[in-house]
Amino acid sequence: MTFVALLNRCLAKVNRQLIKTRSPIILGDDWVLDIRRYLGERATGAVLDVGANCGQTTKRLANAFPHLPVHCLEPNQDLHPKIKERVNFHKDLHVHRCGAGAEDTEMPFFKSTKHESNSFHQDWSHRHGTATDTEMVPVHRLDTFCAQNGMETVSVLKINAEGFDFKVLEGAIGLLQAKKILSVYVEVSFGKEAEESGRCGDYLNFMEKQGYKFIGVYQVARAKEGHIKWGNLLFGA
């Protein structure tokens, strides 16, 4: 990693970036900075964080888009206080106890000792921890959820649903086809785990059919053998 890249990584924590005079803008390192630059003045409507966990990404998005309402969908209500505490500076934060999927229903939600592995897929709940509890949680199509909450436009849709990510996109088909969602950041898995969550090509093909541009791959995680385990895809309308 070059010195400039290292410095930019540090500056990204405060939503800044070092750019040399007459040099091209650096893309592909920080997805929040990239999508803020990509959207520019088009950033209107709301920010939607599906699978907010403890609000790690929510905080960055709230900082990057302080003028937009931020909605978090987090099925595990135990984590809601952590989200609210972490993002307490944002005055238009909404935390919802529900999941997102391909249909409006109620589903068992499997909790784990490692809350990052909580999932609607039972096998995923003990990937990195031990399954501890199960509770029924409402699941909404994003088409339905946004209509019920008065969201006509979503500037940023971030999805980290632990194996349920593709179903989240399927439930937003109306919004996507109408280009009411301006950008999508979604986690994808590779290898065996992709059998349940959908393969990378499925996401690329699906989003291309809806007319979205593929911006890049971010936060790639590799196994010790060197192959990619998972990463995140960024799309823009």
What are the pLDDT digits (tens) for 101-110? Answer: 999 999 988 8
Number of domains into which the chain is organized: 1
Whether residue 24 lies inside any domain: the answer is: no
Does some domain include residue 46? yes
In this predicted model, what pLDDT tens digit does every residue of 42-53 receive, in sequence order? 999 999 999 999
* One-letter identity of residue 148: Q
Q: What percent of the chain has pLDDT over 90?
A: 64
Structure tokens at 64: 């990057």
Confidence of residue 21 (pLDDT cuts 50, 70, 90): very low
- State how far the Cα of 10 lies from the Cα of 123, in Å rounded to an integer: 36
At 116 the pLDDT is 62
Residue 4 inside a domain? The answer is no
6 found inside a domain:
no
pTM of the model: 0.84
CATH at residue 59: 3.40.50.150
Q: For residue 56, is it within any domain?
A: yes
Domain that holds residue 126: 29-236
Question: pLDDT tens digit string along 156-183?
Answer: 999 998 788 999 999 999 999 999 999 9
